[in-house]
Chain A
C-alpha cells in the first residue's frame, strides 16, 4: 500500500492535491482513500491531507502514521511541531519539499537518513491568489515519484477535479502539474510501498486506567486569561508587513485599530507589529494613509533577519 501525506497551509490546495493524486491512482486501477484533515485553523494555518492507494481494498482509515511519501508544499512548516510534518517519518519515507533551498541543506537540517527531494517547479508563491496552484504541482511531482501513474492519468485527474473552476484555471494547473511531473523523471518510482503492521512484532500501546479527576481539574474550563497568546499565529504568514518609520506619521491609531488580531500596539508613540501573531492579512498595508507599511515575502524577511542577526553576532 502507498501512504502519502500532503502538508501545506489552508488555502494552498492540499485537499485538491490529495484529490488529484487519489483520482490519478483510481484511474490507474487502484483502490483509493483520499481525505483532508480539518482543524479549527483557517486560511494560512497548517493543514494536511492524505492519500492511500493499494491494489487490494483498503481497511486502514484515518491519519497516516508512517508515510511512504511526505509532500511539503510550504517549507516554513517543516520546523513547526504543530504542523506534524515530521511525524512518523522513518528511513523508508521520502520527503519532497517545495523549497528554494538545496536538498543537502534539508538533509543536514533534519538529520534525515532517508531521501529528500526539493520541488524546483513551484517556486515561491507570495500572492495569495496563486496559492492553489501549488497543490496541483505537488500532486504532479508526487505522481511521478510514485512511478505507477501515467502523465495521461494525471492530466485526466486534474481535468476531473478542477473542471468546475473553468478552462483558464484548469490549464494553468495542468501546466504546473505536468512540469512538476516531468521534473521528477529521474526519480520516477523512488517511492516504495510501505509494509503492513505485524501482529507478531509490534509495540504494545501503553494503556492506562484513566484516573478520576474531580471537576475542579477535569471540567473543560480554562482558569486563566489570554492564554491564546501562546499560539504563534505568525506562522500562518506568507507575507510580512514592515513599517518604514521614515514614512510613518505616528498617527498610531489606524494600523493599530484596524488590525483584526490586535497584533499592532503602540509603544512610545510608535506602532509595533507583533510578528509572533500577525497572520499577514495586510489590512495595515492597505490602510496606512502614508503608505509607510510595506508587504514583503516572509521568506525574504526571514533571510534578511538572519543576515542581520549574523551581522550583529547573535548567530554564527
Chain B
C-alpha cells in the first residue's frame, strides 16, 4: 500500500491493499470513487485534498473522513483558489523554516464536472496561469449528480438527464475541457477512467513526479445518474474506451499523446445501450439519426487522431 515510489509497469504493481477509508456515503458502484481510491493509493497520505461542492462533498461528514491525509471543503467555485492558499502557505512555512520538508503536503483539488466545466473554470484558469503546483482531479459523471443528475456542461449530446427529459435528450454537446486546459499550457493534462486502473495509475504516478498544474479528468460512470445496474460500472467504463467515446490521452511538453488507441473501435451503441440515460435512442424505436450523429462525431475525432499520427 501507499506512499510507494516504485514505478507501476504492470497490473501486478497496483496496490493490493487500499489507503482510502471504507464507509463513505458514495453510491454503491460509484465510478468516481473507483478512480479516486486508485488515485489515493498512488498519491498517498501526504496530501491535502481541497474539495468543491459535488457528490464528494459528502466524503467527509462530521466526524467521519475516509482520508488518511488531510482535507478541506471549500465551495463550488473556488477549490483551486483554496489550493493556492494552502500551497502558498506551506511554501511560506517551508521558506521560513517553520516546518520541515517532512511536513509538506501535495495539494490536490477534487471536484465534479459541474465545478470543473462550469462554475470553477475561472478559478482553475487562474491557478494554471499562476502555474500553481498542484494536482486537479475532476470526477466527470457528466451531470450535476449530487442534485439528481441535471445536465451540466459535461453532459454528452442526447443524454437524458433530469433537466433534459425530451425524446432527444440533451440538445447540447459535451464541452471540451481537455483542450481548454491544454490551451493554458499547464505541466500535465490527462484523461483517465477507473475501468483502466493501470493507465490511470501510470498517469497519476507521472503527474506526481512533475511540478506545476497537473490536471486530470476521470470519466466516472454513475449508476444513479446514468441509470444502470451498479455492477456494470467497469463494463461501461471499458466500453467508453473501446468505442472511442472517451479517449485516453495525455498532454505534456506541448504534445498530446493518446495512451490507448482503440484500433478496432466497437460501435458506440454498445456503450449507449447499457445506460438508461440513452434508452430513448433504442426504444420504443431506434433513433437512427441521433445514433448516426453520435457515431459520426466519435469517428471524426479518431480520424483526426489517425491523420495526426501519420
Contact = CB atoms under 8 A, between A and B. Distances in A.
Interface of A: 39-45, 128-129, 220, 222, 224-233, 236-237, 252-253, 256-263, 265-267, 274, 276-277, 279-283, 285-287
Interface in B247-279: none
A220 B29 CA distance: 29
Among all A-B residue pairs, the 10 with the closest Cβ atoms: A262-B18, A281-B29, A226-B21, A277-B22, A231-B23, A266-B16, A279-B28, A282-B231, A42-B27, A260-B34
A112 to B, nearest CB: 30
| Band of interface residues on B | 35 or more
A85 B224 CA distance: 25
Contacts of B232: 286
Nearest to A233: B23
Contact of B18 (A129, A265, A279, A287): A265
Contact of A258 (B58, B223, B229, B234): B234
Nearest to A129: B229
Contact of A229 (B21, B37, B58, B234): B21
Interface SS, B side: loop
A225 B71 CA distance: 10
Contacts of A225: 21, 45, 65, 67-69
Contact of B65 (A227, A257, A258): A227
Given A281-B230, A282-B230, A283-B234, A42 B14 contact: no
A48 to B, nearest CB: 16
Given A281-B233, A282-B231, A40 B61 contact: yes
B187 interface: no
B64 interface: yes
A287 B28 contact: no
Contacts of A265: 16-18
Nearest to A257: B197
B234 A286 contact: yes
A90 to B, nearest CB: 31
B66 interface: yes
A260 B30 contact: yes
B192 interface: no
